């Protein structure tokens, strides 16, 4: 009834919120269309990315080779692992200020498991790192430190007792918030459907959504 003969990507944000709430989750056949639309990645031919390895920095290539086999080994098949490596290598060439940072591998894996092509996944990685993780993967990690400071202020405002307890036991918020933010919660949750449902929420609500999930 909500769709009314329309495609999911034709719904506005409020209508998607209703669909998300009533259906409890976005069905897989709609998710692929919606994610591609929200991440602004066009339909691609599905061909693998070529010429990635030769142009990638050596340090990035070595670390990617180590991380690919240990990224969701129970979920990714051999073809998807190869795609994971190619996307990460190409990203390291396109974004030399970032190169490769651990955490990106889990973000790529979720998109591949959701059914995006390699080229769409590369575009999605650029979109997610620009809009949700801006400045996280630079050497200074300025964006991550900025957002953890925001989380700290929100925690003090909304959950002051928990904030006080963290201070009492001398537990820096950085220690517990860094990995969920760097991976967009894609490492902590083991079930891929749970991660995808969380990302549905992120993509519908925008860059403020991870703060709400953390709190």
Q: What is the pLDDT of residues 79-88, one digit of tens each?
A: 999 999 999 9
Burial-class residue 107 by CB neighbours within 10 Å (0-12, 13-18, 19+): buried
Residue 211 CA to chain centroid, in angstroms? Answer: 14
- The single residue listed with the structure tokens 């894609």 is 186
| Cα–Cα distance measured from residue 117 to residue 112, given in angstroms and rounded to the nearest whole number | 7
Sign of CA dihedral 58, 63, 66, 68: negative
pLDDT over 80 (residue 191): yes
N-term to C-term CA, the chain: 33
Q: How far is CA 189 from the centre of its chain?
A: 12
pLDDT, mean over the chain: 87
User: Confidence class of residue 24 from pLDDT cuts 50, 70 and 90?
Assistant: low
- Inter-CA distances, 191 with 27, 136, 197, Å: 16, 25, 10
**What's the pLDDT tens digit per position in 109-164?**
999 999 999 999 999 999 999 999 999 998 889 999 999 999 999 999 999 999 99
Max mean pLDDT range (21-25, 56-60, 64-68, 196-200): 64-68
SS3 content of the chain, % helix, strand, coil (to 5): 65, 0, 35
Q: How confident is the model at residue 49 (pLDDT cuts 50, 70, 90)?
A: confident
Cβ-Cβ contacts under 8 Å for 131 (sequence gap 6 or more): 206, 207
Percent of the chain at pLDDT exceeding 70? 85
The residue that leads in pLDDT, 63 or 44, is 63
Q: How many residues does the chain have?
A: 215
Q: Do 91 and 107 meet the contact criterion of CB atoms below 8 Å apart?
A: no
User: pTM for this structure?
Assistant: 0.87
């Amino acid at each position: 009834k909500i769709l009314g003969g329309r495609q999911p990507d034709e719904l506005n944000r409020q209508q998607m919120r209703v669909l998300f709430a009533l259906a409890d989750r976005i069905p897989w056949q709609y998710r692929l269309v919606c994610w591609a639309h929200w991440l602004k990645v066009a339909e691609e031919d599905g061909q693998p990315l070529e010429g990635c390895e030769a142009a990638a920095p050596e340090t990035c290539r070595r670390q990617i080779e180590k991380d690919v086999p240990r990224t969701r080994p129970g979920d990714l098949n051999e073809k998807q692992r190869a795609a994971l490596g190619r996307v990460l290598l190409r990203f390291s060439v396109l974004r030399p200020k970032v190169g490769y940072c651990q955490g990106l591998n889990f973000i790529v894996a979720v998109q591949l498991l959701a059914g995006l092509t390699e080229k769409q996944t590369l575009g999605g990685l650029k979109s997610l790192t620009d809009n949700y993780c801006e400045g996280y993967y630079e050497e200074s990690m300025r964006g991550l430190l900025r957002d953890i400071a925001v989380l700290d202020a929100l925690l003090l405002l909304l959950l002051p007792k928990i904030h006080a307890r963290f201070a009492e036991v001398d537990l820096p918020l950085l220690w517990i918030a860094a990995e969920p933010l760097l991976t967009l919660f894609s490492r902590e949750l083991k079930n891929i459907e749970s991660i995808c449902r969380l990302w549905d929420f992120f993509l519908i609500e925008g860059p403020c959504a991870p703060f709400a999930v953390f709190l």
